[in-house]
A and B are shown apart, each in its own frame.
Chain A
Amino acid sequence: EAAVTQSPRNKVAVTGGKVTLSCNQTNNHNNMYWYRQDTGHGLRLIHYSYGAGSTEKGDIPDGYKASRPSQENFSLILELATPSQTSVYFCASAGREQYFGPGTRLTVL
């Protein structure tokens, strides 16, 4: 069974602060993804990666950076968090099928 973990699971941040969401996968998948899920919008792609050292912009990249230092790890970085970034964030890895992590609930006050 595919294994994707995320940390932290819950995070409260202040406006203007820096937030880093981490994702780790043990599937040896090349592709990894960051999504956010909001009521009424479903799952929207923020950034993705084809392998260590690569990051690509998804559909809604503004306000987010990504980092893929290794095959296993993919981070999402909010340099200056805003209340509009309050959401649930999912990481996924894929060979063929996409496997999701458990999600991180981020609240920006």
Chain B
Amino acid sequence: GDKVKQSPSALSLQEGTNSALRCNFSIAATTVQWFLQNPRGSLINLFYLVPGTKENGRLKSAFDSKESYSTLHIRDAQLEDSGTYFCAAEAPGSWQLIFGSGTQLTVMP
């Protein structure tokens, strides 16, 4: 099965509302990264996380290594937040990232 499972696979939001994306891991992830692939196809690093939380503007992310999950919260969604969000986990002793299949987010006016 998938080592990194993202949910939901797709999500539509009204501008100004909030959302939460989730990743569950079946591996013992040591770090997590979140990326946004924008409509032009560019992959942008949003967060690098060890267990704990980080916040950047309207985005907040948490990683719980004991419960094997990570979340990404988007507050006051804007049109430019549209795109596909990927989480990726690093396994112990590895420099490789294992990617989830993504959450496609559409923010509507």
Contact = CB atoms under 8 A, between A and B. Distances in A.
Interface stretch (A19-27, A65-73, A77-85, A88-96): A88-96
Contacts of B95: 31, 48, 50, 94
Interface of B: 31, 33, 35, 41-45, 48, 86, 88, 95-97, 99-102
Given A88-B41, A100-B35, 7 more contacts: A33-B96, A43-B99, A92-B43, A97-B48, A100-B42, A100-B43, A100-B45
Contacts of B43: 90, 92, 100, 103
A42 B101 contact: yes
B43 to A, nearest CB: 4
Chain B facing A: main interface SS: strand
A43 B101 CA distance: 8
What is the interface residue range for chain A against chain B? Answer: 20 to 34
Contacts of B86: 42-43
Contacts of A61: none
Contact of B99 (A42, A88, A99): A42
Contacts of A97: 33, 45, 48
A103 B48 contact: no
A41 B99 CA distance: 10
Contacts of B41: 88, 102-103
B48 A96 contact: yes
Chain A facing B: main interface SS: strand
A43 B86 CA distance: 9
A29 to B, nearest CB: 11
A48 B95 CA distance: 9
A48 B88 CA distance: 16
B5 to A, nearest CB: 11
A58 B96 contact: yes
A59 B99 CA distance: 12
Contacts of A94: 95
Contacts of A102: 41-42
A98 B97 contact: yes
